């Protein structure tokens, strides 16, 4: 009798899963055909937005643009001169901004400065894990400390920043965590073994965190994973010249990131056509995928980054 009840319960769970799968799939299909202009967006006026790597490139543009929307900006970076420039630009537009020199690879430093941010600016409501580095060497040529640095900045630091600000988001029932990952977090590339691996980790961090929050019943905290192709203007891939797919600009990416935040998108993939490429990855033979990647990006880092 007990076994029969368990079997019926399992059948009921499977049927419920199939019904919900159909419902969510239909809703997703309908949303696909809704023009972006008609999609609902949230208002970030009054939000406290913390952006790591805000002293240059994409982080600087996000700071300027989000401040224009009425958000209070907080930037972290190790580049004090760069942060000062960002501060000037934001304030020249009438924005509010706080800046702190922080090495996000140092856990205790992150926690300490996070407490100061709460005192100075209030509870962070949107966290943008943007800071990133690239070494740009073949695996056997990368000094060990650069491999560690790549993972510490591109992936492990996300744990420290999120642990610092997620508790207040949960308490306030309001929050959004944005992970600036990469298309390199979905497909490997020569001379970027450490970089791709760290971005795979960043993508996994976002997805796992989202699942965990949902499993805990935390529905007020949103997460967005941003996966752009190569970007000019970040100081990392300025001289890369891929074939077939054009390099993105920080202007293009910043606009898409902000729209993704406002719409609370789960993923922002740039260019948009890339979001359909992953189906192909698992269908075509590996030799085809490898050949495509090797010819599309013949040299991901003509000029290596870190030393």
Read off the pLDDT band of 303 (50, 70, 90). confident
pLDDT digits (tens, 9 = 90+) for 88-141: 999 999 999 999 999 999 999 999 999 999 999 999 999 999 999 999 999 999
Per the CB < 8 A criterion, the answer to whether 300 and 239 are in contact is: no
Determine the 3-state secondary structure of 252 from DSSP: helix
Tell me what pLDDT residue 165 has. 98
Model confidence band, residue 297 (pLDDT cutoffs 50, 70, 90): confident
- Of these ranges, 24-38, 136-150, 290-304, the one predicted with the greatest mean pLDDT is 136-150
Q: How far apart are CA 129 and CA 115, in angstroms?
A: 17
Q: How many CA atoms lie within 13 A of 294 on its CB side?
A: 6
User: Which residues fall within 8 angstroms of residue 287, CB to CB, at 6 or more apart?
Assistant: none
Q: How far apart are CA 264 and CA 273, in angstroms?
A: 20
> What are 184's two structure tokens?
């390199």
| Helix locations, the chain, DSSP H | 2-32, 57-68, 80-92, 107-121, 144-151, 157-172, 193-215, 250-263, 277-283, 286-296
> The CATH number of 40-296 is which of 3.40.50.10380, 3.40.50.720, 3.30.70.270, 3.90.1150.10?
3.40.50.720
The model carries a pTM of: 0.90
> How far apart, in whole angstroms, are the C-alpha atoms of residue 163 and residue 201?
17
199 near 185, Cβ under 8 Å?
yes
What's the gap between Cα 266 and its chain centre? Answer: 10
Query: Distance between CA 270 and CA 268 in Å, rounded?
Result: 7
Tokens coding 251: 């202007």
Name the DSSP letter for residue 105. T
Q: Which of 198, 194, 286, 298 is nearest to 245 (CA)?
A: 298
| Active site positions, annotated | 195
Provide the CA 162 distance to its chain's centre, in angstroms: 12
Helix axes of 250-263 and 57-68: crossing angle, nearest 10 degrees: 50
Q: Where are the domains of the chain?
A: 40-296
């Amino acid at each position: 009798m007990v076994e029969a009840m368990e079997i019926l319960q399992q059948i009921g769970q499977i049927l419920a899963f199939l019904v919900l799968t159909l419902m969510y799939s239909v809703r997703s299909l309908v949303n696909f055909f809704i023009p972006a202009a008609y999609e609902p967006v949230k208002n970030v006026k009054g939000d406290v937005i913390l952006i790591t790597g805000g002293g240059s490139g994409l982080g600087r543009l996000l700071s300027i643009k989000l401040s224009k929307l009425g958000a209070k900006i907080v930037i972290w970076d190790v580049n004090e001169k760069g942060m000062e420039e960002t501060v000037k630009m934001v304030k020249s537009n009438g924005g509010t901004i706080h800046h702190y020199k922080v090495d996000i690879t140092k856990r205790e430093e992150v926690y300490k400065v996070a407490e100061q941010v709460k005192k100075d600016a209030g509870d962070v409501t949107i966290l943008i894990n943007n800071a990133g580095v690239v070494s740009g060497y073949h695996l056997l040529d990368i000094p060990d400390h650069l491999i560690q640095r790549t993972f510490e900045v591109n992936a492990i630091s996300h744990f420290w920043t999120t642990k610092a600000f997620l508790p207040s988001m949960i308490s306030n029932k309001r929050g959004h965590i944005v992970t600036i990952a990469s298309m390199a977090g979905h497909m490997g590339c020569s001379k970027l073994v450490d970089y791709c691996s760290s971005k795979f980790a960043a993508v996994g961090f976002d997805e796992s965190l989202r699942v965990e929050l949902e499993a805990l019943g935390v529905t007020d905290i949103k997460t967005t994973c941003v996966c752009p192709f190569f970007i000019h203007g970040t100081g990392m891939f300025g001289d890369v010249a891929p074939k077939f797919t054009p390099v993105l600009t920080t202007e293009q990416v910043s606009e898409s990131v902000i729209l993704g935040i406002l719409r609370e998108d789960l993923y922002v993939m740039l260019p948009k056509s890339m979001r359909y490429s992953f189906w192909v990855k698992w269908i075509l033979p590996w030799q085809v995928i490898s050949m495509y990647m090797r010819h599309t990006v013949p040299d991901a880092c003509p000029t290596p980054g870190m030393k």
